[in-house]
Structure 1
Amino acid sequence: MLAAAAGLLVGLFCVLLGPVTPASAHAALVASDPSNGTIVPDAPNKVTLTFSESVQLVSGKIQVIAPDGSRADQGEPQAAAGTVTVPLRSGVGRGTYLVSYRVVSADSHPVAGSLTFSVGAASTPPSESAGTESVDPVVRALIPVGKYLGYAGLVLLIGPVLVLALLWPHRLSRRGASRLVWTGVGLVLGSTVLALWLQAPYTTGTGLFGVSGDDLQDVLGSTFGAVMLVRLGVIVAAGFLLRPLLRGEGGESKADLALLGVLGVAALATWPLTGHPAASPVAGVSVVVDAIHLAAVSVWLGGLVMLVGFLLRRANERELGAILPIWSRWAATAVAALIIAGSVQALIEVASFKGLYASTYGQLILVKIGLAAVVIAMAAVSRRLVRSRAAETGPGPLRRIVLAELAVTAVVLGVTAALVQIPPPRTASAAESGATSTTISQTITDKSVSLQVDVFPATVGNNSLHLYAYTPDNKPLPVVEWTATAALPAKGIEPIEVPLLRITDFHAIGDIALPAAGEWTFKFTVRTSDIDQSTLTMTAKIS
């Protein structure tokens, strides 16, 4: 068993070194109202945050700080799918506001960040609030370790139970195999309890032992907590049904075995419901595919453990002659399911060919594919050995190749556990698009007017303009008449008049279709009285 033990250690090593950077959020802020960095003429009555996937709130972790450092939010924020609404108190003053947030994405990862907006005029932003703490490094390291132990528990539970129920020779003692299964049960239960505990500091950004009763209560009341409690209940119920099977008393009925199978399916489904598949654009497909992937790995690897640990050493030639062909068919089916399910899931999460080689997630997928190919080649060799047993090759070569399979698949499990802490390319691209604002915001001034100009989305086609007029000391400046034109001299496009609509005394809006990309020249004339007016010019790159 030295090779398998080495594989287990290397797998744990992969888990510990896989997420070497802070765990990244698997959802992204894609929009906000007011938008980040913008100046609005009047104080809004709410702030709206839009994320790339559905999120759940973390108690006390969304704040809006006024320019004077006081809280501008009031009441409780509300979350609906991927939109979070934060109500604001009335009478907030002019200046720059800081919005800090920390929520939990659909795949159970915390999402934290901040943005600013200004009312009337910009000012020095308030200091960062307590909403965006990073993840404690100990917590970050323990989460994938717990997941690895959970995967190992599944392997030691599902595969061995199938072998005991359908392939185990009656004359052999079940004591050692039973201990293996109970170890699997213990690992699944232990990893689930650990996951529930770790989710509290992971969500709030506190240390491992900085968890309060309210934090645990919030976790238990979340979707993540509900799924974990279901897993605990299912495993405990399965434990009672396993007792007669593991004792070899013959007391298990077909109905009990069928119920055990149902509980096994329910337990498997809890893994994808708290991971990337739950946040997939085709969540129903991803959850089913991921459950099949886990089942295939557990049957294949768990069966290998039973073969190398017990059957190849204890079963006689006649028994092995009956067992190995059946197991070989099981393994071939599991490998086929593994390849198909893994390919579908990778296509969904990677989303593009570039994502396969240009992202950490995609690179780990390639590593996993390479390791899986090695294991499949080993499985093909062992299958040939099974077929050649008539030539009396003996169990020795087969046992060695199965040990090698176990060693490599242990490393595959480690890579898998590391993958769950890394955002897939589909969410990373959402984060990039969300972080990149296409609004051009400029302030142009002369001795009497300071004009704030916002152009959105600053691309070829229809665009909106917002104009805000202030005095040089940042007070609203009433405007009697607005005019605006846009030209692209480099491509011979003469000035196009922009129709403007007056919204307030110092705010006007307009729409214009820009037909080509390039450095556009915008000219604005602001008349503030019968005899006073200013003409200001700016350039903006339209892509």
Structure 2
Amino acid sequence: MGVMTAAHRRRFARLAATAGLLVTVVALLLVPAGPASAHAVLSSSSPAASTVVPAAPAEVVLTFSETVRKVPDRIRVIAPDGSRADQGEPTFAGSVVNIPVDTGRGNGTYLVTYRVISADSHPVSGAFTYSVGAPSEPPVDSGDDGRANPVVGTAVKVAKFVGYAGLLLVIGPALVLALLWPRRLSRRGPARLAWTGLGLVALATVATVLLQVPYTNGGGLFDVTGEGLSLVLGSAFGAAHLVRLGLLAAVALLLRPLLAGPVGRTDLVILGVLAVGALVTWPLSGHPAASPAPAVSVLVDTVHLGGMAVWLGGLVMLAVFLLRRADERELGAILPIWSRWAALAVSALLLAGTVQALIEVATPAALVNTAYGRLVLAKIGLFVLVIAVAAYSRHLVRTRVAASRPAPVRRAIWAELTITAIVLGVSATLVQTTPARSVATDVAAADSGYFNTTATSSLYSMQIEVSPARRGNNSVHLYAYTLDNQPLPVVEWQVTVALPAAGIEAIQVPLLPLTDNHATGEISLPAAGDWELRVTARTTEIDQATVTATVPVR
């Protein structure tokens, strides 16, 4: 076998990197698509929280704002005597979770605890009570307190920070070595920095996947089980991180010749495509992929992340290497080009960050009323400060001070890096925080009205819920049960609402069946008053009955 030449090694690296990219694209195409959602919150329940129902329900129904996934044995119904009242496994249908309940546990207060996973990979947990017949002392769920382990939560944020830091440490050296590095200078130092950055990204990716297991289950730092890891790797979150690892391996093959010396345009193009593919895996495993406009959010978050990596990575290269090693002539050529790059990267950061904030925050009030909004404000304040320092650096470049006296610009760059390190920490916390738009729909946080009643006919018992029972848009949920309180399949639903006192005739409510005995619909109620709601449910080809309820709307 002959010795492989440098040209052969480069050709092999290109082919291997291209193959890695193709495998990644195929993997992305094979990942099952799911409905868009983000940081789901409990929007309603049946029975409703803190209500008293006349008879024990055969099931508890949880309706979340978005699609959720199961966490094994983390949904429980505790009877008044402290025993488990839930029977069998709960069923998941999009945003609706049905929990079978033993109806023979007697009267008193029941506790419902839940822990599920939203589409953006974050666990959602909570608890509420309802009472049968009359309230009693609430029971305690000794199996799970529903709270995330604080050590695990902190470790996840640290892993996110390390990943961001590694990203800028690999992109900065690669970009500067490819386009700005003087030929006379050694590449050894930047190459070590780039390999360190690539290693940090890979380490953070693996750590994030492993930490997702206890983060999901609510366990301790080392509570990583085979079943839990399998569930994580089988999710969109796990797929995005596996794709990232594959792309990092492909990047490493092309990065080696670049760090050793100048490479051709083809290698740079392939390397750029691989880098963009790896960047996309960050938004695909977080809030952006589950936003109301996922395509826009993923795009702007990728631009935001790329702009950050180019800007900060380039600053590191300037501060650590170029301002120390390059001579005045070289700096005079390099700094104006870098200044234009930095301006473009900062503009991309501002534009992408603004669009993403508008999507995730939703309302001006949420900027100050939610933790997510306050973190966004903190990030904006720090960003304004770092922009001011960057403007000073740009002034030095334009006046040619930096080339002849690099010390002032070096101090300005270190100031930029110090502030932006704090920004990265805020960003690592931000991606683990419930978006403000989701907090606004949380029934535990919202001060909204609620109507709940049970109407009985000769065929069935119908539980009727209207939320928020106020003027404007309202959600209607209907649950059909047999007269002995078992779920009753409904063949056809028909619902109308009317306000005779205001001369408003019957309005048809469009319904969407969620399960055999549960349907939901949205209706706009334009005026306050006592609305008449009529429900007709057909249970067989010939059996149907109509019930009515008066809904007070404020």
Give the TM-score normalised by the residue count of structure 1. Answer: 0.73
For the residue of structure 2 that corresponds to 1:423, the secondary structure is coil
CA apart distance, 1:434? 6.6
Given that residues 133 and 204 in structure 1 are in contact (C-alpha distance below 8 angstroms), is that contact kept between their aligned partners in structure 2?
A: no
Question: Residues 385 and 393 of structure 1 are in contact (CA less than 8 Å); yes or no, is this contact kept in structure 2?
Answer: no
The residue number in structure 1 matching 2:43 is 30
The corresponding residue for 1:173 is 186
Provide, for residues 131-177 of structure 1, a one-character-per-residue CA deviation record: whole Å limited to 9, x for no partner: 54311121122121111111101110112211111111222111100
State the alpha-carbon separation in 1 of the partners of residues 333 and 299 from structure 2: 33
Say whether residues 1:352 and 2:366 are aligned partners.
no
CA distance in 2 between counterparts of 1:196 and 1:168 reads 36
Query: After superposition, where does 1:33-432 map in structure 2 within 5 Å?
Result: 33-40=46-53, 44-67=57-80, 69-88=82-101, 96-118=109-131, 125-128=138-141, 130-248=143-261, 250=262, 252-389=263-400, 393-432=404-443
| TM-superposition CA deviations, 1:259-300 (whole Å, max 9, x none) | 211221121112122222233222221111111111001000
Structure 2 residue identity aligned to 1:282: A
Q: What is the distance in 1 between the residues matched to 2:160 and 2:47?
A: 39
Distance 1:391 1:120 in 2: 79
In structure 1, how many angstroms separate the alpha carbons of the residues matched to 2:300 and 2:528?
45
- Give the secondary-structure state (helix, strand or coil) at the position aligned to 2:181: coil
Residue 22 of structure 2 is matched in structure 1 by: none
Deviation (angstroms), 1:402: 1.5
Counterpart for residue 446 of structure 1:
none
Name the CA distance, whole Å, in 2 between partners of 1:437 and 1:75. Answer: 33
1:126 Cα shift?
4.1
Cα deviation for residue 125 of structure 1 reads: 4.7
* Structure 1 Cα separation of the partners of residues 250 and 142 of structure 2: 45
* Most deviating of 297-306 and 117-126: 117-126
Tell whether the 8 Å contact from 1:102 to 1:131 is kept in structure 2 after alignment.
Answer: no
Q: 1:463 to 1:382 in 2, by over 3 A?
A: closer
Tell me the distance in 2 between the aligned counterparts of 1:266 and 1:190.
18
Q: How has the CA–CA distance of structure 1 residues 392 and 205 changed in structure 2, closer, same or farther, with 3 Å as cutoff?
A: closer
Q: 1:135 & 1:392 partners in 2: Cα distance?
A: 52
How much has 1:112 moved relative to structure 2? 0.9
> What secondary structure does 1:135 align onto?
coil
Residues 82 and 129 (structure 1), Cα distance of their counterparts in 2 relative to 1, 3 Å cut: farther
Aligned CA distance change for structure 1 residues 52 and 131 (closer, same or farther; 3 Å): farther
**Deviation at 1:43?**
5.1
Tell me, in whole angstroms, the C-alpha distance in 2 between the residues paired with 1:237 and 1:45: 54
> CA 1:238/1:274 → structure 2, altered by over 3 Å: closer, same or farther?
same
Contact kept? 1:63, 1:131, Cα under 8 Å: no
Q: Could you list the runs of 5+ residues in structure 2 that have no partner in the other structure?
A: 1-37, 454-462, 479-500, 502-524, 531-550
Q: Deviations over 1:297-335 (max 9, x none)?
A: 100000011111111111223322222221111111001
Q: What aligned pairs does 1:440-479 form with structure 2 within 5 A after superposition?
A: 458-459=469-470
Give, in angstroms, the shift of residue 430 of structure 1: 1.3
Deviations 1:382-432 (A, max 9, x none): 222222228964322222222221121112112211222332321221115
Partner of 2:27: none
Distance (whole Å) between structure 2 residues aligned to residue 378 and residue 118 of structure 1: 60
Q: 1:113 to 1:167 in 2, by over 3 A?
A: same
Deviation at 1:255, TM superposition (A): 2.8
**TM-score, length of structure 2 as denominator length:** 0.72
User: In the alignment, residue 190 of structure 1 is paired with which amino acid?
Assistant: L
Q: Pick closer, same or farther for the CA change 1:283–1:131 going to 2, 3 Å.
A: farther
Residues 244/116 of structure 1: CA separation in 2 closer, same or farther (3 Å cut): same
Letter in 2 for 1:368: K
Q: What is the rounded CA distance, in whole Å, between the counterparts of 2:189 and 2:212 in structure 1?
A: 34
* Residues 511-522 of structure 1: pairs in structure 2 closer than 5 A: none
Classify 1:77/1:441 alpha carbon distance in 2 versus 1 (closer, same or farther; 3 Å). closer
Contact 1:268 1:295 in 2 (8 A): yes
Consecutive unaligned residues of structure 1, counting only runs of 5 or more, are 1-24, 443-452, 467-492, 494-512, 519-539
Distance in 1 between the 2:225 and 2:204 partners?
Answer: 20
Using a 3 Å threshold, how does the CA distance of structure 1 residues 103 and 456 change in structure 2: closer, same or farther? closer
Deviation at 1:339? Answer: 0.7
Structure 1: how far apart are the matches of 2:382 and 2:185?
34
TM-aligned CA distance change 1:208 to 1:347, over 3 Å: same
Q: How far apart, in 2, do the equivalents of 1:432 and 1:463 lie?
A: 13
Q: Closer, same or farther in 2 for the Cα pair 1:219/1:409, shift >3 Å?
A: same
Gap change, CA 1:335 and 1:435, over 3 Å in 2: closer
- Work out the CA distance in 2 between the residues paired with 1:322 and 1:92: 81
In 2, the alpha carbon distance for the partners of 1:243 and 1:391 equals: 31
Moved more, 141-150 or 422-431: 422-431
The two structures, once aligned, show a CA RMSD in angstroms of 3.6
Q: Is the 8 A contact 1:52 1:82 kept in 2?
A: yes
Q: Distance in 2 between matches of 1:153 and 1:78?
A: 41
The alpha-carbon distance between structure 1 residues 196 and 516, as it changes in their structure 2 partners (threshold 3 A), is closer
The Cα offsets for residues 66-89 of structure 1, whole Å up to 9 and x where unpaired, read as 455554444433334322233456
- Aligned pair in 2 of structure 1 residues 226, 435: CA closer, same or farther (>3 Å)? same
Could you tell me which amino acid in structure 2 is paired with residue 234 of structure 1? L
- Structure 1 residues 392 and 118: CA distance shift in structure 2, 3 A: closer
> What CA distance in whole angstroms lies between the structure 1 residues aligned with 2:402 and 2:74?
69
Higher relative contact order (CA 8 A, sep 6+): 1
